[in-house]
Amino acid sequence: MSTKYDVIVIGAGPAGYVAAIKAAQLGFKTACIEKWTKKDGRPSLGGTCLNVGCIPSKALLESSFKFEETQHELAAHGIDLGEVKFDVSKMMKRKDDVVEQLTGGITGLFKHNGVTHLFGKGKLLKGKQVEFAPQEGGETQIFDADHVILATGSVPVEIPPAPLTEGMIVDSTGALEFDSVPKRLGVIGGGVIGLELGSVWNRLGAEVVVFEAMDKFLAMADQQIAKESAKIFKKQGLDIRVNALVSGTEIKGDEIHVTFKDEDGEKTEVFDKLIVAVGRRPYTEGCIAEDAGVQMADRGFVHVNDVCETSVPGVYAVGDLVRGPMLAHKGSEEGVMVAERIAGKPAQVNYETVPSVIYTHPEVSWVGKTEEECKQDGTPYKTGAFPFAANGRALASGESAGSVKVIAHGETDRVLGVHIVGPSSGDMIAQAVIAMEFGSSAEDLGTIMFAHPTVSEALHEAALAVDGHALHIANRKKRA
C-alpha cells in the first residue's frame, strides 16, 4: 500500500523548498524530494542557488571585493595597511561555511513546519503518483498525491566548442572551486553569471577576458545603463569582447587555446582557465514519465499557464522549469502562489515586476520595461536620469560611479521601468518594485520624502528628472 500525501514537491531549490514550507503552513501533509548531496555525501537542501549558485558566488564576491577595497581604496581614507595578501583556501572555507549554515537552516525549517524530506530522486508518474528512489539505495517506493509540484530547477548549458574538462574548462560550479588564481582567465558568456565570476577572479589578480557572442553588451538590460556598466567594468580591468563567438578550444599542456570570431575575423587567445557561462537549461531528465501527460514547451521547458498549472490537473511546475527569467526569487514566489492556489486562494505572481540584479560592484539592477522595449512596442514614454556623482552619500562613500534611470508612461506618468547601476543597486531596486506594484507615477516617487544623505535619493531625483524637476543636477531643456 502506497503512502499518500496532500502535496509532493520534487526539488528543494528556492522554488521547491519554499513551496513545500508554504504548503505545510497551509495545513497540507507535504513531502519534498531532493537528491542533492554535499561533497561528503550528506543530503543538502537549497538546490543550485544555495549550494553552487547565488549564495557561494556572493560569498566570493564579497571576499574578493574586500581584498580589492583594502588594496586600492582604503588609503584614500587615511588607512595604510602596507602589503595586502589573501588566502584562497580561507575564502573558500568561508564560502563553504556560509552554504552550510543556510542549507542547514532549510533542514530546520522543514522540521519546524512538518515537511517530510525524502532524500533521493523523484519522478512524476501518471495519475499524480510519484516514484521515489532513495539516494542511499533500497527499494523504490510509489507515493500517491493530491497535488504534485515540479521544481527540479536547471543546469548549466554546455557547448560543443568548449567541452568541460576537470579543473581547466569549467562551468559556474567549477569556477567556485578554483584553489588558486589563474593568471589568465577566459569567460564565455557576458551575462549575469559570467560577469559575477569574472569579477571575483579579476579582483584577485587574474587577467580576465569575457567573450560575448551577441553584438550588444547586456542585451536584456536598458542599453543606456548597459553602456555605462560596460565602461565601469572595463575600467576595473574586465576585457569585454562583444560580437565574439567562440568556435573552438584546444588544451595544450597547461594552456587552453580559445579560437573565436569577431568583426575582424578568426583569432586565438591563450588562457590558464576557461569558464563556460552561456546560460542554463531546465533539468527534467528522468523526472517526468512519458505517460504522465505533462505537456512540454520549447527548449525543454514545462508548459504551464499564468498560474503555473501544467496540462495535468493537480500538477504544477515552478521556477527554472517554466517560462520567465531563471531567478531564485521568481521561483520562490511561484512556489508560494501554487501552494496558496492549492488551498483555494486567488494568488498570482506579477511578472511585470520581477527584479533582476547583477552582483558586480557596483551592482546592476532593473525592473519593468527598457527604453528599447518601449520604442519597439510603441508605448509613449519619458525618462529621467540621475548620476550617483551628484549624490552626497555616494560621494562620501567613494561609490560615485553609475546612475539611476526612471522610465514613465508618456501620457499617464505611470512608472514603467527603473534601471540602476551603482551602490546598493540590488537593494534600491526593491523601492522601484514596490512603487510599480502600487501603480505609482513618477510624480509620486518625486513627491515622497527620502532620507538624506542616502543613495536612494538618486531614485528620488531621477523620478523628478522625468519632468525636468530634478533639484541637484541641471535639467534637460524641454522640447518646444
**Are 232 and 299 in a shared domain?**
no
Report whether 350 contacts 356 (CB < 8 A).
no
pLDDT single digits (tens) 317-350: 999 999 999 999 999 999 999 999 999 999 999 9
Looking at residue 439, which CATH number applies to its domain?
A: 3.30.390.30
SS3 assignment, position 282: strand
Q: Which of 278, 309, 335 is the last residue of a domain?
A: 278
**Are 203 and 241 in a shared domain?**
yes
Asked if residue 77 is part of any domain, the answer here is yes
Report how far residue 197's alpha carbon sits from residue 175's, in angstroms, rounded to the nearest whole number. Answer: 7
State how many domains the chain has: 3
The candidate with the shortest Cα–Cα distance to 367, out of 379, 377, 376, 357, is 357
Phi, psi of 266 (to 5 degrees): -85, 135
Report how far residue 99's alpha carbon sits from residue 24's, in angstroms, rounded to the nearest whole number. Answer: 24
**Are 270 and 331 in a shared domain?**
no
Q: Which domain holds residue 400?
A: 353-465
Asked if residue 480 is part of any domain, the answer here is no
**Are 204 and 232 in a shared domain?**
yes
Catalytic one among 117, 329, 361, 452? 452
Q: Which of 260, 278, 296 is the last residue of a domain?
A: 278
Asked if residue 184 is part of any domain, the answer here is yes
**Are 146 and 234 in a shared domain?**
no
**Residue 70 confidence (pLDDT):** 96
Asked if residue 127 is part of any domain, the answer here is yes
Residue 226: in which H helix or E strand, if any? helix 223-236
The count of C-alpha atoms lying within 13 angstroms of the C-alpha of 420, restricted to the half-sphere facing its C-beta, is 34
The candidate with the shortest Cα–Cα distance to 33, out of 146, 115, 93, 155, is 115
The candidate with the shortest Cα–Cα distance to 227, out of 390, 352, 376, 372, is 372
Edge-to-edge strand ranges of the sheet holding 363-368: 356-358, 363-368, 415-422, 403-409, 381-387
Report whether 30 contacts 115 (CB < 8 A).
yes
Edge-to-edge strand ranges of the sheet holding 255-262: 245-252, 255-262, 265-271
**Are 213 and 233 in a shared domain?**
yes
**Residue 479 confidence (pLDDT):** 58
Looking at residue 81, which CATH number applies to its domain?
A: 3.50.50.60
User: Do the strands 315-317 and 169-170 form a parallel or antiparallel pair, or are they unpaired?
Assistant: unpaired
Q: Name the grid cell of 461.
A: 531625483
Asked if residue 388 is part of any domain, the answer here is yes
Check the CA dihedral 51-60-212-372 and report its sign. Answer: positive
Q: Name the grid cell of 381.
A: 514614454
Report how far residue 369's alpha carbon sits from residue 440's, in angstroms, rounded to the nearest whole number. Answer: 15
**Residue 480 confidence (pLDDT):** 46
DSSP result, 300-336: GPBP--TT-B-SSTTEEE-GGGSSS---HHHHHHHHH
User: Do the strands 363-368 and 415-422 form a parallel or antiparallel pair, or are they unpaired?
Assistant: antiparallel
**Are 59 and 203 in a shared domain?**
no
Report how far residue 479's alpha carbon sits from residue 24's, in angstroms, rounded to the nearest whole number. Answer: 58
pTM, two decimals, is: 0.96
Task: Kindly tell me the burial class for residue 133, based on how many C-beta atoms sit within 10 Å of its own C-beta (0-12, 13-18, 19 or more).
Answer: middle
Q: Which amino acid is at 283?
A: Y
**Are 366 and 334 in a shared domain?**
no
Asked if residue 343 is part of any domain, the answer here is yes
Q: Which of 224, 258, 278 is the last residue of a domain?
A: 278
**Are 260 and 301 in a shared domain?**
no
Non-local (6+) Cβ contacts of 201 within 8 A are: 64, 175, 178, 181, 182, 185, 208
Residue 7 region by backbone torsions, left for phi larger than 0, else alpha for psi between -120 and 50, else beta:
beta
**Residue 1 confidence (pLDDT):** 42
**Residue 137 confidence (pLDDT):** 87
Asked if residue 478 is part of any domain, the answer here is no
**Residue 3 confidence (pLDDT):** 85
**Are 86 and 105 in a shared domain?**
yes
**Are 287 and 139 in a shared domain?**
yes
Asked if residue 359 is part of any domain, the answer here is yes
- Catalytic (active site) residue 452: yes
**Are 116 and 235 in a shared domain?**
no
pLDDT profile of the chain (480 residues), mean per 10: 87 98 98 96 96 97 97 94 94 97 97 98 97 93 98 98 96 96 98 98 98 97 98 98 98 97 96 98 97 96 98 98 98 98 97 98 98 98 98 97 98 98 98 98 98 98 98 81
